[in-house]
């Protein structure tokens, strides 16, 4: 059983349509894939349809933009009801904030002498309700300013660089509450990745488990060193929560994140499905189903 629980399509900032992503997952020999686009469930129906055609397992999920003490944190929500009113409303505010910041990013880049328009950015984000920095990067590639997304982030868009403007994001405790209220399973994405390591300490993880019912943490992720993975797995075991592994695949938008590069142990996936069942039963929300062929 090979299980990849974190991937992106072009419904957010991945580069492949959902059906292409699913076909690639099947070809890569994966048995189960979760689609976890940023702040949107738009790709779920296409994902489910493609999964049934291909005979590959499909878990609908969302990667929710959170912020703790001003630092970006990502929360994976598996199998929540995306139309659960309070969750839907928060996600709408996040997506609006994503779009609303684009003019500020463009103005900052223009201030540095970089030619770019808002329309050029939006042209890279057609079909997605969730515009992100990677789309700004794609626009910079398209107009010849940089060679690829990496160069755009390194020079302009990474946290702390001049073209980085943050957007509204949800407090992680509240996001966990909302995912559970919507019948889903909350798992912190890459807790010791690029920025979140600053705020997601072992103590914070324990607090989110105790006070909010955090169900798990992503451990095997390309942003984590071997040492971090060992330590994080130890933290998960000590707290009795689930640990997962994933590629965080973005199509050709992120190098070294090939489908299946990390995976989730079947035993951990079984636990996740059990928590999903329990959280769904405790909620009045209308949760989606896992598809397992």
Query: Which positions lie near ligand AMP, rule CB under 6 A?
Result: 13, 65, 132-134, 149-150, 153, 158, 194
**Shortest reach from residue 111's CB to ligand AMP, in Å:** 19
Of 149 and 271, the one with the shorter C-beta distance to Zn ion is 149
CA gap 68, 90 in Å, rounded = 16
Measured from the Cβ of residue 211, the count of other Cβ atoms closer than 10 Å reads 11
Backbone torsions φ then ψ of 9, nearest 5 degrees: -115, -175
Which member of 4, 6, 7, 13 binds Zn ion (CB under 5 A)?
13
| CA dihedral of 220, 225, 229, 232, whole degrees rounded to 10 | -120
Which residues, at least 6 apart from 126, have a Cβ–Cβ distance to it below 8 Å? none
Q: Which residue in the shown chain puts its C-beta closest to Zn ion?
A: 13
Nearest Cα to 180, choosing from 80, 98, 56, 95?
80
Alpha-carbon Rg for the chain in angstroms: 18
Which member of 11, 74, 98, 167 binds Fe ion (CB under 5 A)?
74
Task: Please tell me whether residue 155 binds Fe ion under the rule CB under 5 A.
Answer: no
**Shortest reach from residue 98's CB to Zn ion, in Å:** 11
The strand order across the sheet containing 57-68 reads 3-4, 32-38, 57-68, 71-78, 185-188, 216-220, 242-245
Show the DSSP H helices in 41-166 as ranges.
44-54, 85-100, 102-111, 118-124, 133-142, 149-152
**Shortest reach from residue 114's CB to ligand AMP, in Å:** 17
Nearest Cα to 169, choosing from 239, 251, 101?
101
Region near Zn ion per CB under 5 A, out of 12-20, 43-51, 139-147, 264-272:
12-20
Token reading at 185? 């399973």
**Shortest reach from residue 254's CB to Zn ion, in Å:** 8
* 74 contact, one of ligand AMP, Fe ion, Zn ion, none, CB 5-8 Å limit per kind: Fe ion
**Shortest reach from residue 37's CB to ligand AMP, in Å:** 10
CA gap 290, 282 in Å, rounded = 18
Task: Please tell me whether residue 248 binds Fe ion under the rule CB under 5 A.
Answer: yes
Within 179-208, the residues that bind Fe ion by CB under 5 A are 189
Of 102 and 236, the one with the shorter C-beta distance to ligand AMP is 102
CA gap 91, 96 in Å, rounded = 9
Of 128 and 283, the one with the shorter C-beta distance to ligand AMP is 128
Nearest Cα to 4, choosing from 217, 253, 269?
269
Of 120 and 223, the one with the shorter C-beta distance to Fe ion is 223
Task: Please tell me whether residue 4 binds Zn ion under the rule CB under 5 A.
Answer: no
Region near Zn ion per CB under 5 A, out of 13-21, 40-48, 67-75, 120-128:
13-21
| Binding site residues, Fe ion, CB under 5 A | 63, 74, 189, 248
Which residue ranges make up the site for Zn ion (CB under 5 A)? 8, 13
């Amino acid at each position: 059983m090979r299980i990849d629980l974190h991937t992106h399509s072009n419904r957010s900032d991945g580069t492949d349509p959902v059906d292409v992503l699913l076909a690639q997952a099947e070809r890569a020999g994966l048995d189960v894939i979760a689609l976890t686009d940023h702040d949107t469930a738009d790709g779920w129906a296409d994902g489910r349809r493609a999964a049934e055609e291909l005979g590959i397992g499909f878990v609908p999920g969302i990667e929710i933009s959170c912020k703790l003490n001003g630092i970006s944190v990502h929360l994976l929500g598996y199998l929540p009801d995306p139309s659960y009113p309070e969750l839907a409303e928060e996600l709408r505010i996040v997506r609006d904030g994503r779009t609303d910041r684009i003019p500020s990013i463009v103005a900052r880049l223009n201030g540095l002498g970089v030619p770019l328009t808002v329309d050029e950015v939006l042209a890279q984000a057609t079909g997605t309700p969730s515009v992100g920095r990677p789309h700004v990067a794609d626009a910079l590639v398209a107009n010849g300013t940089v060679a690829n997304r990496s160069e755009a982030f390194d020079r302009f868009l990474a946290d702390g660089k001049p073209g980085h403007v943050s957007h509204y994001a949800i407090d992680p405790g509240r996001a966990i509450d909302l995912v559970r209220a919507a019948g889903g399973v909350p798992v912190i994405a890459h807790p010791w990745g690029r920025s979140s390591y600053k705020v997601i300490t072992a103590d914070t993880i324990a607090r989110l488990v105790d006070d909010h019912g955090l169900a798990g943490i992503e451990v095997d992720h390309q942003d984590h060193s071997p040492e971090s993975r060992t330590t994080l797995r130890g933290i998960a075991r000590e707290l009795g929560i689930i640990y997962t592994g994933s590629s965080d695949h973005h199509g050709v938008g992120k190098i070294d994140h090939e489908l299946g590069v990390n995976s989730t142990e079947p035993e951990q996936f079984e636990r996740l499905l059990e928590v999903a069942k329990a959280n769904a039963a405790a909620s009045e929300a209308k949760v989606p189903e896992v598809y397992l062929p």
